[in-house]
Structures are given as C-alpha cells and as structure tokens.
Structure 1
Amino acid sequence: MKALVCILLLLETFVFVVQQQVDGGLNENEISQQISSEDGRQNPPQTDTLRAEASTDRQQYCHLCFPDIHAALRELTATVTEQKGNIRALETRLMDEMKKKNEEISNLTLGQEELRKENRDREIAFSAGLTQSSSEYIGPFTTHITLTYRNVFTNIGNAYNPITGVFTAPLKGAYMFRVSVFDLGGSTSTAYIVKNGELVVMANDVQAQDRLSSSNGVVLILEVGDVVYVRLWSNTRIYDNENNLNTFSGFLLFPLR
C-alpha cells in the first residue's frame, strides 16, 4: 500500500513538472525543491510512524492475548465463591444425612435392645419336684395344704418361688401348667391346681394296694400378678423320693395384650 502511494505521488509530481515546463517552465532548483516539498509533505518521518505502528501493534497484541485480566479474575473469583457455596451445601447435606443415619442406627439399636428385653421377659418356664433326695410321705393332713416343690429343675424368669411353692405371672399371657401325683398304694392321692385361690383342675387316684399315680394339666390366661400353685387334698397323701415322682411345671405359651 505504501509503495502504491509513493508511485502516485511521483506521478503527480511528474505531471506537475511537465505542466510547469509547458506553461513557462521551472528551473532545476525549483523542480528539486518542489519534489522535496511534496515528498516531505506526503511522507512524514518514517521513524515516528514505525514507532507508532509498533506501539499500536503491541497494544492490539496485548488486547488479543489478554482481553481483560480483571474480568477474568472477577469471573474466577465468582466461580470459586460459587464452588465454595456448593461445597458448604454439600457438607450440610452430608452432615444431615449422617445425622439421620446415626439416628436410624440409634433407633435400630434401641429397638433391638427393647426386642431382646421383651424376648427375655417372655422367657418364662419352670419345673420342680417335691424333694431333693430323701424318700418321704407327705400327708395325710386334716386340711388342704399348699405343696412346696423344692427340687427346682428349671426356673427361667424366676417366676416360681420354691419356698412358697407359688408361681406369680410376670406378664399377661397364656400359660400351660401340669401336675403329677404318686403314692405307693393303699390310700388316696389327690392334688389340684389353684389359680388365685380357686380350684382349676385335679389329679386323683385311689388304689387299695400297689402303686397309684395321676396327672393333669391346663392352659390358663393370667394377668400380671396372678398366682398359681398346687394343693394337696385333705386326708390324702403322696410319696416322693430321688426319682421325682411328683412334679409341678408351667411355662408361658405366648403373651397377650
């Protein structure tokens, strides 16, 4: 582009010179001055122009390479702030989830403990014989007496008291009870299961000679605190020894609400 401008200027100068020569002419010095004047007017000092162009190019290059570093920093700061907010929200959500899980685990553990306790409460069973080792007759008595089965085989839940011979229901439910009686004969043996002072079922046998035995059982619905025990009928007797011929047993079938 610069070369074309120079050529045009030279052509313009040439035409001017020719015109002057046609009109009356110019001397050589005038022509030289004219050319110098035109060249100086149309072509300013190259050094300043090149410097200005170089500065402009550098600015344009900087703008191209670094469009707006402040804008970029602002955008980066906004991004970091946004990510921090996201991280805080994520941490909060994770903490809430962990708290919820811990509560669920705690509730599950508590539920398991309650279930184990409930199962332990449901573990109720006992069985006992009259004597521990000696052979002895019990009865006859002139009145009914409560039998104390002192030789305890099983007493899960400790609801049976071997000192009093009384079973006390620790929770409401359906219970199974059973009693057996034995004697060597020549008498009458009668024992019965009692619930809260009332006769429920009886085991009875009468033999003029030889041995006699009998047994009976019943399922009872008991409330908490109800009592069950065995009584020997008046004027009857039983015989027991180390073979545990007379027994009293009971256990919880299932609880009731």
Structure 2
Amino acid sequence: MKTLVCILLLLETFVFVVQKVDGQSPDIYAELKELTSTVTALETRLRATEKAADELKKKNDDREIAFSAGLMESGTGDVGPSDTNITLIYKKVFTNTGNAYNPITGVFTAPVKGAYVFEFSVYHFGQLIPAGGYLMKNGQHVAMAYAKQDQGALNSSKGVVLILEVGDRIYVNLWSNSRIFDNQNHHNTFSGYMLFPLK
C-alpha cells in the first residue's frame, strides 16, 4: 500500500511540474484532495480483498480433512475375541489433518457436510478364529471386512464413499468372536478423507 501511495505522489508531482513548465498553474490543493480520495478508495478495496481472501482460506481449511491410523501405537498383540462387538481404537495416528479423528475413542466425527472416503483392514493368523470388522455410521452397520481360514495369515479390507452430515460419527467395530493381530507393521488401519464438501 505504501508503494502505491508513493507512486501516486510521484505521478502528481510529475503532472504539477509538466503543467508549471507549460505555464499553467494547477490548483495543488484540488489535486491533493483528488489523490487522497483515490488512495482512500484503494485502501477500502484492499481491505475488502483481504477479507475475501481470509474467508476463502477458511473455506479451504474446512476442506482439509484427512486421517489415517494404525491399531497399536507400539508393541505386539491381539484384540479379541469377545462375546460382543468392540469399538476399535486406532492409537497410532499417521495423519489427522482437521483433527476430526479422535485417537482416544477411535471415532471420526464429520466437521463439514460432504462426501467422504473411508477404508479399513483386518488382519490375523488363521487359527479357525475369523478376523472381522464392521464400519459403523452413527451406530448402524455400513460394511464388513471378514476373513477366516485354518492356517496362515488372513487379511481383508473394505472401502466406501459416504455422504455425511455435520456431526455424523464413523468408527470400526471388531466383530464378536473374531480376533485381529497387530505389531509395528500396522496390519490393521482405519483411514478417511473428504472428497468434496456439500451444501
């Protein structure tokens, strides 16, 4: 803004000198008044532009929603089996842009209405005990990843696109009577991100 004012003052001085050389005597006060009016109008436009830029940045910040987490932060171990479904808490947070995923509860809460992608996986060693997990939305079953075999590693994953309202809750339940195993390789993960916002 200071540069703009300096340029305008230099131009005004140039006009004054040219007119003086031509024998004209300009009304310097009228010229300065017009210059002040121009600078004031430019300052007003600049403030409006800065405000619009701030609002656009806030909207773009709202769109930056992505998370990815592994089941165990450290160590090695099993989760399950249990007689009831267990909400899995993915403690090893790789990414949590927008802070919509809570690593204490294992729940993602939609901060913005939009279309979201979610993916999760279940992994275990086959011992006639299945590995199974449900993707849940507000307490309702959406999709299941499931695997069972007698021996060897078993793995299943699932991905869905969901339309969420503000406050919708997404999480993964371990299926009752199933088991999953995790270690430093993070075999069991839960991830999601917003594709685009909706009105």
Structure 1 distance, partners of 2:110, 2:51, is 26
Q: Which runs of 5+ in 1 are unaligned?
A: 1-79
Bigger proportion of residues as helix? 1
Task: Write the letter of the residue equivalent to 2:140.
Answer: E
User: What TM-score, normalized to structure 2?
Assistant: 0.83
1:200-246: per-residue Cα shift (whole Å, max 9, x none)? 11101111111100000111111111110000111111111111000
Amino acid at match of 1:172: K
Instruction: Spell out the pairing of 1:1-257 with structure 2 (5 A cutoff).
Output: 83-84=26-27, 87-186=28-127, 187-257=129-199
Which structure has more relative contact order (CA 8 Å, sep 6+)? It is 2
* SS of residue matched to 1:118: helix
Shift of 1:142: 0.4
For residue 88 of structure 1, report the CA deviation from its aligned partner: 4.1
1:103 alignment partner, SS class: helix
Q: 1:110 deviation in Å?
A: 1.4
Provide the C-alpha distance between the structure 2 equivalents of 1:223 and 1:96, rounded to a whole number of angstroms.
48
Q: How far 1:191 moved relative to its partner?
A: 0.3
How far the C-alpha of 1:91 sits from its partner, in A, is 3.1
Structure whose residues are more often strand by fraction = 2
Residues 35-91 of structure 1: CA deviation (Å, up to 9, x unaligned): xxxxxxxxxxxxxxxxxxxxxxxxxxxxxxxxxxxxxxxxxxxxx9x954xx44433
Unaligned runs of 5+ in 2: 1-23
Q: Among all aligned residue pairs of Structure 1 and Structure 2, give the percentage whose two residues are the same amino acid.
A: 53
What CA distance in whole angstroms lies between the structure 1 residues aligned with 2:168 and 2:72?
26
How many residues get paired?
175
Residue in 1 that maps onto 2:9: none
CA distance in 1, matches of 2:119, 2:73: 19
- Secondary structure of 2:119's aligned partner: strand
After TM superposition, give the deviation of residue 108 of structure 1 in Å: 1.1
* SS of 1:108 mapped into structure 2: helix
Deviation of the 1:157 alpha carbon: 0.9
SS at match of 1:207: coil
Equivalents in 2 of 1:100, 1:202: separation in Å? 61
Aligned-residue offset at 1:98: 1.3
Letter in 1 for 2:94: F
* CA distance in 2 between partners of 1:189 and 1:83 (Å): 89
- Distance between the aligned counterparts of 1:123 and 1:206, measured in 2? 37
